[in-house]
Amino acid sequence: MKILITGENGQLGRALQQLAPAWAETNAIDADDCDFTEESMLRARLTVEAPDVILNAAAYTAVDKAEDNEDLARAINAVAVAVMVEAMAETGGRVVHVSTDFVFDGTASRPYRPDDARNPLSAYGRTKAEGEDHLRDEDLLVRTAWVYEAGGTNFVRTMIRLMNEREELAVVADQVGAPTWATGLARTIWALLEQHATGTFHHCDDGAISWHEFAVAIAEEAHALGLVARIPVIRPITTAQYPTLAQRPAYSLLDCSATRAFLGEAPVPWRANLRLMLEEEARLG
């Protein structure tokens, strides 16, 4: 089966390539290979690649910048998805598309289920929701949140850098969700594809925490591995005390129970995966 992975150099794109099963004949592209904002260029590249499945891990993820660049975000997060779906419709192929907790408004009192109503608060969330709307019944949508990976650009590695530079940090404590190790997400995507899953699924690591709690755990685990020389003071603050251009959902926990039931897998605690990622980060030096 010919699989085209988009977002080759992103955290998830790299993990998907590293974990590709033997039955998958993979190729990967990124913005350096094809401008996803140029519809004709993207269509031509998809014609050349002629995949059976597109694993779309490419996205415009600069949440705050998207507020001033919504058209650019839409071109990558929505219009490009439409082009991929049209190309697969012509050849009988499928699209596996990765989306985000930001399509929800964060006002729920329980984890968001795959079929819950969406109400994005930001330009990033809106464009990702628009991308979802282009998918067909035979395609696969996987939503996730708070993604991180060794060697990537993410909250975990940013915290480690800041912890080695400062004696005190302030981290938002009133936004709740669940982290996601990209390696685990990639395994789930491959497993869903192998099981011919269609429709919408959620994947995050197990548990519910705030960004502040996540930062504290990062400090403790990174210090134990020698990635942080000393654990700094980590103060909890409110979202109001850390204003950003884009409004973020206060509660973005995703209900992943249907995904685990479909695959027959037990949930993996977020802290266990954090430790595995940091061990890999230590090996990378």
List residues with catalytic annotation. Answer: 124
The answer to whether 200 and 129 are in contact (CB under 8 A) is no
Q: How far apart are CA 22 and CA 196, in angstroms?
A: 16
The partner residues of 140 in beta bridges, in order of sequence, read 96, 199
Query: In residues, how long is the chain?
Result: 285
State how far the alpha carbon of 250 is from the alpha carbons of 68, 78, 218, 230, 255, in Å: 22, 24, 21, 30, 16
Q: How far apart are CA 37 and CA 55, in angstroms?
A: 18
Q: How far apart are CA 214 and CA 269, in angstroms?
A: 13
Q: Which two tokens stand for residue 170?
A: 């302030």
